[in-house]
Structure formats: C-alpha cells, structure tokens
Amino acid sequence: MIGENLPMLPPDAPLETVSVLKALAKASRALAELKGFADTIPNKHILINAVTINEAKDSSAIENFITTHDELYQAMSGSDVQNPAAKEVVNYRTALWRGYELVEQRQMLTTNMIIDIQAIVEDSRAGIRKLPGTVLMNAATGETVYTPPCGEVIIRQLLSNLEQYIHDDSDGVDPLIKLAVIHYQFESIHPFYDGNGRTGRIINVLYLVLKELIDSPILYLSRFIIQNKSDYYRLLQTVRKTGAWEEWIIYILKGVEQTAEETLQLIKRIHEAIDQMTTEIRIALPKIYSKELIDLLFYEFYTKTQYIQNGLGVSRKTAANYLQALEDSGFLSSQKIGKERIYQNRRLYDLVRN
Ligand SMILES: Nc1ncnc2c1ncn2[C@@H]1O[C@H](COP(=O)(O)OP(=O)(O)OP(=O)(O)O)[C@@H](O)[C@H]1O
Ligand SMILES: [Mg+2]
C-alpha cells in the first residue's frame, strides 16, 4: 500500500486572507500580552513547571491517557511510576523539557531533534516509519480517512522540506500563520508509527520559542484541541481534500488567542500566590524566611527534605525542621510516599489543577 502524495511546502495558495489577518491580529495581541507579563516574572521555571504539568496531562488525554493530578503528583514525587497513564504524562513532560533545552542550545528545530523528542514521548527507539500499514482512521466510524506517505526516504525528504520551511523566514509570512501550516504538514507526514500527535504538539511550542514569540514554553494548544476536537480532525482533512487553508489557519489562531488569555490568567494567579505566601511566611516564620525558600516551595508543587537541604545549603536536620514548621503553620501538607515524606504546596497545586 502506497501512502498518499503529500505536496511539499510552501503551500501553493494564498494564506494571508483578510479573515486570517483579522484573526492574526487578535492572536498576536494576546500572545504579546502573555509574553510581556511572563517577562516581568523573576522565577520563570516556576511558571514553566506549573504550565507544562497541565499541558503534559492534557496532551496525553487526547491520546486517552487519562490521569488525575493526584496520581501525577504521586508519580512525579515517587521514584518509580506505577500508574501507566501517569507514566505517559511524565514521559511527555520529559520530552517537552528536552526539546526546549535543545532549541535553546541550538536555535534550531531539526529532524534529528524531532526524532529524539518522539523517542522520549513513546519511550521507544523505533524512529521513522519503515514499514507500511499506518493509516489514520475516523475514531467514530473506523473508516480510513488518510494514508500518510510511506517509505523512509520519502518521509525524510518531507521532513527536510519541513525543516527548511521552519527556518526560512524570507517568505515574510507571519510565524503564527506558519505555525498552522507546520502543524498540518507534520501531522500529515506522520513520520512515526505512534506519538505523532503529541510530538507535533511539542513542536508547536518549540516553534513559538524558536521564533521568539514567547520566551518560555508556556503556550500550549492541547486543551483547545481537546475542547474543539472534531473541528481539529475535520479541518486537517479539509486542507488535504480541498487545499483550503483559511479555516484551518483561523482555527489555530483562535487557539493561540484563547490559550494565551487563559495562560495569562493562570500565571497571574500563580504570581499572586507567590507574593501572598511570601508575605505570610515572613510574618509567621521570620526566622526561616528567605527568597530561596519560597522558590523551592513553588518549584514543583511538592518538596522534600533533601531539596531544601541542597537548595538552601543547610543540614538535613535544619531542613526537616523548616518543613515541619511550614507544615505546622499550614503552608504545606505532608504525606508519606514510599519511604519518603513529601510536602505539598496545596495552594499552588489547587491553582494549577483548576
Ligand atoms: N486526517 C488527518 N490528517 C492529518 N493528521 C491527522 C489526521 N487525523 C489525525 N491526524 C493527526 O494524527 C494524530 C494522532 O497520531 P498518533 O496516534 O501517531 O499520535 P498520538 O500522539 O499517539 O495521538 P494523539 O494525537 O491522539 O494524542 C492526531 O493528533 C492528529 O494530529
Ligand atoms: Mg497514538
């Protein structure tokens, strides 16, 4: 079985229609606002951590790996992950961080990087599809809607063309519009046996970082896609069948706009929570208060004696006393997971979960 012929990029059609440009203006504005606010926050890792946790969960849910924040939290804080869905989420998160690190280091987004990311997502080294048989089906009817290109040589040519499109800005097309094109093309190449959706969603955020539309990886479309899933699949097919890009591009731009607004609200609330807890701990526990301590409490939703010990350079006993005092004053609540006592920052946890 031979896959369908997928045209190389750039698309042979005008992309910047009047409606697209209108949607672009809104999306750009919302994104710039998010970027501007995120820029003013000193401890970006806190935001990135909080936002990527939700993204890992949502993106994995599209593939039906459903887990709760509680299970996830247990999986992250414990040493071995029992729950298979939580494991998928943890893999996704690891892949995302790895991708971000690579893009920051190399200022590029290459085929090899994409292969590395997918290997972490799927926890497999199968790499690019070599065997035929991969088809995309309509989940409801089971009917085959699309057979992606087949054969490693062709797939690599298409990826290399995509790579070129990603790095070539000479076309003057706005990167947010190109984001829609890139996502369609990547999903249509469908280079792997599995994990193409999740890998493609990671590529989206890495592309935004690469083009400096956002400094940290904090804008994710997965939640928007889950909420508008049938349009998502329908519009991918519409581009394929009719070559009409407009509705698809507007869909992605709408996703960027809506998500940027939601993310801005979330990070504002986290920022307020950090401020508030800082004030409260200063008053309630002036002897142990330090900025570094607050950072550690917000780093991962949970902390343990060892993190405080290493992070503050204090003895194990002192670290344990600090955590005890914080728990006694209601800032943390602890739980024994395996052999270890884990302290949860409930306020941060609740903010992120809602
Ligand atoms: N008709 C289509 N044309 C192009 N791409 C499609 C089409 N239907 C689905 N896709 C893409 O394929 C992805 C699913 O592929 P795959 O199962 O390899 O990825 P996944 O990460 O395991 O799944 P998911 O995206 O559901 O989490 C979808 O997310 C979508 O992006
Ligand atoms: Mg799959």
- Residue-wise pLDDT tens digits, 79-137: 666 788 888 999 999 999 999 999 999 999 999 999 999 999 999 999 999 999 999 99
Q: Do 43 and 293 form a contact (C-beta atoms < 8 A)?
A: no
Residue closest via CA to ligand 1's atom 31 equals 197
- CA-to-CA distance for 184 and 237, rounded, in angstroms? 10
Percent of the chain, pLDDT > 70? 99
Mutate to test the pocket of ligand 1, among 190, 224, 239, 241 (most ligand atoms within 8 A of CB): 190
Domain 285-353 bears CATH identifier 1.10.10.10: yes
CA angle 97, 100, 101 (to 5 degrees): 85
> Model-level pTM?
0.94
The number of beta carbons lying within 10 Å of the beta carbon of residue 26 is 16
Ligand 1 atom at minimal distance to the Cα of residue 225: 29
Q: Is the confidence at residue 44, as pLDDT, over 70?
A: yes
CA of 70 to the centre of ligand 2 (A): 24
Q: What mean pLDDT comes out for the span 55-62?
A: 91
The pLDDT-based confidence of 65 (bands split at 50, 70, 90) is confident
Q: Do 161 and 9 form a contact (C-beta atoms < 8 A)?
A: yes
Ligand 1 atom at minimal distance to the Cα of residue 200: 31
Q: Is the confidence at residue 195, as pLDDT, over 90?
A: yes
List the one residue out of 339, 343, 335 whose CA is nearest residue 293.
343
Percent of the chain, pLDDT > 90? 80
The pLDDT-based confidence of 71 (bands split at 50, 70, 90) is confident
Q: Is the confidence at residue 1, as pLDDT, over 60?
A: no
Alpha helices (H) along the chain: 18-39, 44-62, 69-77, 84-106, 111-122, 152-167, 175-189, 196-210, 222-227, 229-242, 246-284, 291-299, 305-312, 316-328, 346-353
In CATH terms, the fold of domain 18-263 is Fic-like fold (1.10.3290)
CA of 134 to the centre of ligand 1 (A): 11
CA of 321 to the centre of ligand 1 (A): 49
Q: Is the confidence at residue 140, as pLDDT, over 90?
A: no
How is the chain split into domains, by residue range? 18-263, 285-353
The pLDDT assigned to 81 comes to: 66
Q: What mean pLDDT comes out for the span 14-41?
A: 96
The pLDDT assigned to 79 comes to: 61
The ligand 1 site (C-beta within 6 Å) comprises 62-63, 136, 145-146, 187-188, 194-198, 200, 233, 236-237
CA of 78 to the centre of ligand 2 (A): 27
Q: Is the confidence at residue 49, as pLDDT, over 90?
A: no
CA of 187 to the centre of ligand 1 (A): 6
Q: Between the ranges 165-169, 297-301, 331-335, where is the mean pLDDT highest?
A: 165-169
Q: What mean pLDDT comes out for the span 307-317?
A: 97
Q: What mean pLDDT comes out for the span 140-165?
A: 96
Ligand 1 atom at minimal distance to the Cα of residue 59: 27
139-148, 203-212, 243-252: segment of lowest average pLDDT: 139-148
The pLDDT-based confidence of 63 (bands split at 50, 70, 90) is confident
Residue closest via CA to ligand 1's atom 10 equals 187
Q: Do 86 and 74 form a contact (C-beta atoms < 8 A)?
A: yes
Q: What mean pLDDT comes out for the span 223-235?
A: 97
List the one residue out of 52, 127, 47 whose CA is nearest residue 90.
52
Mutate to test the pocket of ligand 1, among 62, 92, 136, 240 (most ligand atoms within 8 A of CB): 136
List the one residue out of 228, 112, 90, 101 whose CA is nearest residue 162.
112
Q: Is the confidence at residue 308, as pLDDT, over 90?
A: yes
Residue closest via CA to ligand 1's atom 25 equals 197
The pLDDT-based confidence of 70 (bands split at 50, 70, 90) is confident
The pLDDT assigned to 76 comes to: 78
